Amino acid sequence: MTLDERIETIFPKIEDVPEKFFLKSSVSQKEYLINGELRVWEGKTQEVLSPISLVTSSGLSKITLGSYPILTENESAEALEAAKIAYNNGRGLWPALPVYDRINYMEGFLKRMKSSKKEIVALLMWEIGKPFHEAEREFDRTVDYITNSVEAMKFLNRTSSQFVIEKGIIGQIRRAPLGVVLCMGPFNYPLNESFTTLIPALLTGNTVIFKPPKIGVLLHYHLLKAFRDSFPPGVVNTVYGEGSQVITPLIVSGEIDMLAYIGSSRVADILKSGHPRPHRFRAVLGLEAKNPAIILPDADLDITIPECIEGSLSFNGQRCTALKILFVHHDIAGRFLDKFSEAIGNVSIGMPWHENVMITPLPVTGKTEYLSRLITDARAYGAQILNPCGGKVNHTFMYPALVFPVNKHMRLYSEEQFGPVVPVVPYDDIEVPIHYIVESSYAQQVSIFGNNQDTIGRLLDVLVNQVCRVNINSKCQRGPDIFPFAGRKDSGEGTLSVSDALRAFSVRTIVAATETAKNKTIFQRIVRERRSNFLSTDVIP
C-alpha cells in the first residue's frame, strides 16, 4: 500500500479494533464530588466524542465515549463552600492532621487508583488518542510521582523536625498549607499533569477544587469514588463545565488561595487578573512553549535525528516540551533534512493500539484545519514541505510535515503549533537562534546538538539565562520528575518537581521563643507529651 493509501485508510472498521482495547460501554457520568458525596446531576451534559472514527458502510462514523455534567455557578459555589469548611481557616481536620496521617490517607488513595489502571489507560487512548504504551507510561509515571511525593514529604518532615537555636532564639521551622487550591490540568497529560499539582497540594494539607481538562475528562470518573472514600469530606471536590460558569465565580470570590493551572497564558492571565486581592493569590503555572533545537555544523546526525524525531513528533508533537522549531546550520542542513525526511517515513502511524505508533488522530476540534492553515501560510512566504505526504489530512489525522525554509514572516516561526508540523530555519550565524530565543514570548527549554565542548560550553552559558533547561544532544522533556520543571516569560510561573511542588503549595512557618529556661521547658513538655502536631520531633520512618 502506498503512503497516500495508508493515510486514506487510517481509520479502522469495528472488526479491526483488537478486543483487548475495545471499550465495552460508554461512560455516562452524572456524578460530581462535593463534600465527600457523589451528587447526581440532572442538568445539561457534554457529549464526549473520540478523535478515532470507525469506517462503516455509510462512511466514517464518530464514536461517542460518554458524557459528563455541565455544572453551573451554583455547584461551583457548593464546591468552594465544601473546600472552605474542610480547610476551616487551617483548623479543619485535614490541614491540622499530622503529616504521617495525611500520608496514610494518600497511600489508601494510591492503592485504589492502581486498581483503575486498565480503565484509565483505555480512556487515555480513546479520549485523546494517546498510544497505548504512552498511556501506560502516563499512568505508571503518575503512580511513581505519588510514591515519590510521599517519600519527599517524609524527607521534608524529617529535616524539619530539629530545633534551630540562633542569637538567643529557639525555633522549629516547618511548612504549613496555604488554603483552598484550584487545580486545572491540560488535555495532553490529563492524568499526570493534573496530579502533579493535585497530589502535592493535598499532601501539604490544602483542600482542593479540581477541574479536569475539557478533553480527557471521563478517565477521571474512574477515580471519583476513590477520592470520596480515601479523603475526609470536602478535601477533594470536582467541578466540570464552562470556565465562565464554574471557574470565574471561584476566582472573583477571592476565596481561592492558590491556582495550579497547566494550559495557555491567555487563560492564566484572565484567571489571575480576576482575583480581587492579587497579592493573596499564589500561582503555579505551566504554559505554552516553543522549544527550539539548535543543530550545530558538527552535530552527530545519528544522535540528532532520532532525538529530534522523538522531540518534535512523539504523541503528535502535543507536548508542551516538544521541539517546535529547529534551527539547522547551513553546512549540515542538506544532510539533516534528507535524513529527517527519511526518518519521518519510518515513523509509525495509526491507531493508539498499534505497537510503537507515534502519529495518531488529534483530539482538539478543528486542529487539522488550524495546522493546515499554518502550512498554507508558510508556503505563501516561500516554504516547502520536504517529506512525501507531509501535512496530508484525513479528518482528525494529519501526517507529519517537515517545513523548510521557515522565516520570521511565517506564523509557524512564532506560534506554538502543538501538532505534527516541524518548522526548520536555516542559519549561518549562531546569533540567529540566540536572537530568536531572546525575542521569543516563550522560554521553557532548548536543545543543542553538537560535538565541540568549547562551542557548546559558550552557547549554554548564554542560554541558561534565557530558558529553564538546556539539553545537550538530547530532546527537551520534563522528566525525570525529580528534576525541576519551570518556564520563564509566557511559559510558566513557579517550579514543579516532586520536591519543589511540595514547597510551592506550602509556606515556611516557624514557632519561635526566646531561649529562656522557662520557654525551653514549655517546648520540651509540648514535644515529650505530644501536645502539638506542628511542634514535634517525631520522625516519619
DSSP 497: S
- 275 lies in the binding site for ligand G3H (CB under 6 A): no
Least distance from ligand G3H to the Cβ atom of residue 492, Å: 10
Question: For ligand G3H, which residue of 319, 324, 339, 367 counts as binding (CB under 6 A)?
Answer: 319
Please report which helix (H) or strand (E) contains residue 522, including its range.
Answer: helix 517-528
Considering the complex, state which of residue 251 and residue 289 has its C-beta at the smaller distance from ligand G3H: 289
Q: Look at residues 168, 274, 166, 258 and name the one whose alpha carbon lies nearest to residue 209.
A: 258
Least distance from ligand G3H to the Cβ atom of residue 89, Å: 34
Q: Look at residues 323, 336, 331, 424 and name the one whose alpha carbon lies nearest to residue 378.
A: 424
- 138 lies in the binding site for ligand G3H (CB under 6 A): no
Q: For ligand G3H, which stretch binds (CB under 6 A), given 108-116, 150-158, 475-483, 533-541? A: 475-483
Specify whether the CB–CB gap between 190 and 315 falls below 8 A. Answer: no
**Spacing of C-alpha 348 from chain mean position:** 25
| Residue that is written with C-alpha cell 512523539 in the block | 314
Considering the complex, state which of residue 188 and residue 265 has its C-beta at the smaller distance from ligand G3H: 188
Least distance from ligand G3H to the Cβ atom of residue 289, Å: 8
Interaction with ligand G3H in 368-387: which residues (CB under 6 A)? none
Distance in angstroms (rounded) separating the CA atoms of residues 507 and 206: 11
Cβ neighbours of residue 413 under 8 Å, at least 6 residues apart? 325, 406, 407, 423, 425
Give 359's strand partners: 349
- 282 lies in the binding site for ligand G3H (CB under 6 A): no
- 278 lies in the binding site for ligand G3H (CB under 6 A): no
Q: Look at residues 254, 233, 252, 235 and name the one whose alpha carbon lies nearest to residue 243.
A: 252
- 193 lies in the binding site for ligand G3H (CB under 6 A): yes
- 444 lies in the binding site for ligand G3H (CB under 6 A): no
Q: Look at residues 447, 494, 451, 493 and name the one whose alpha carbon lies nearest to residue 469.
A: 447
Distance in angstroms (rounded) separating the CA atoms of residues 150 and 171: 25
In this structure, what C-alpha cell is assigned to residue 431? Answer: 546569533
Considering the complex, state which of residue 193 and residue 257 has its C-beta at the smaller distance from ligand G3H: 193
Least distance from ligand G3H to the Cβ atom of residue 133, Å: 13
Distance in angstroms (rounded) separating the CA atoms of residues 281 and 273: 10
Considering the complex, state which of residue 204 and residue 477 has its C-beta at the smaller distance from ligand G3H: 477
- 324 lies in the binding site for ligand G3H (CB under 6 A): no
Q: How many residues bind ligand G3H (CB under 6 A)?
A: 9
- 188 lies in the binding site for ligand G3H (CB under 6 A): yes
| Residue that is written with C-alpha cell 499512568 in the block | 139
Q: For ligand G3H, which stretch binds (CB under 6 A), given 187-195, 229-237, 399-407, 449-457? A: 187-195
Least distance from ligand G3H to the Cβ atom of residue 477, Å: 4
Q: Look at residues 146, 126, 139 and name the one whose alpha carbon lies nearest to residue 54.
A: 126
| Residue that is written with C-alpha cell 502506498 in the block | 2
- 321 lies in the binding site for ligand G3H (CB under 6 A): yes
- 477 lies in the binding site for ligand G3H (CB under 6 A): yes
Distance in angstroms (rounded) separating the CA atoms of residues 348 and 3: 11
The secondary structure of the chain in percent helix, strand, coil, rounded to multiples of 5, reads 40, 25, 35
Specify whether the CB–CB gap between 535 and 527 falls below 8 A. Answer: yes
Distance in angstroms (rounded) separating the CA atoms of residues 59 and 242: 32
Q: For ligand G3H, which stretch binds (CB under 6 A), given 168-176, 328-336, 471-479, 508-516? A: 471-479
Least distance from ligand G3H to the Cβ atom of residue 15, Å: 33
Considering the complex, state which of residue 339 and residue 478 has its C-beta at the smaller distance from ligand G3H: 478
Question: For ligand G3H, which residue of 113, 329, 478, 504 counts as binding (CB under 6 A)?
Answer: 478
Distance in angstroms (rounded) separating the CA atoms of residues 252 and 273: 9
Question: For ligand G3H, which residue of 300, 479, 514, 521 counts as binding (CB under 6 A)?
Answer: 479
Specify whether the CB–CB gap between 122 and 353 falls below 8 A. Answer: no
Question: Other CB atoms closer than 10 Å to residue 26's CB: what's the count?
Answer: 14
- 480 lies in the binding site for ligand G3H (CB under 6 A): no
- 142 lies in the binding site for ligand G3H (CB under 6 A): no
- 189 lies in the binding site for ligand G3H (CB under 6 A): yes
Considering the complex, state which of residue 79 and residue 502 has its C-beta at the smaller distance from ligand G3H: 502
- 497 lies in the binding site for ligand G3H (CB under 6 A): no
Can you tell me whether residue 47 is helix, strand or coil? Answer: strand
DSSP 366: T
Least distance from ligand G3H to the Cβ atom of residue 493, Å: 15
Q: For ligand G3H, which stretch binds (CB under 6 A), given 108-116, 315-323, 375-383, 533-541? A: 315-323
Q: For ligand G3H, which stretch binds (CB under 6 A), given 48-56, 416-424, 473-481, 510-518? A: 473-481
Question: For ligand G3H, which residue of 226, 246, 320, 424 counts as binding (CB under 6 A)?
Answer: 320
Report the interface residues with ligand G3H, using CB under 6 A: 188-189, 193, 319-321, 477-479
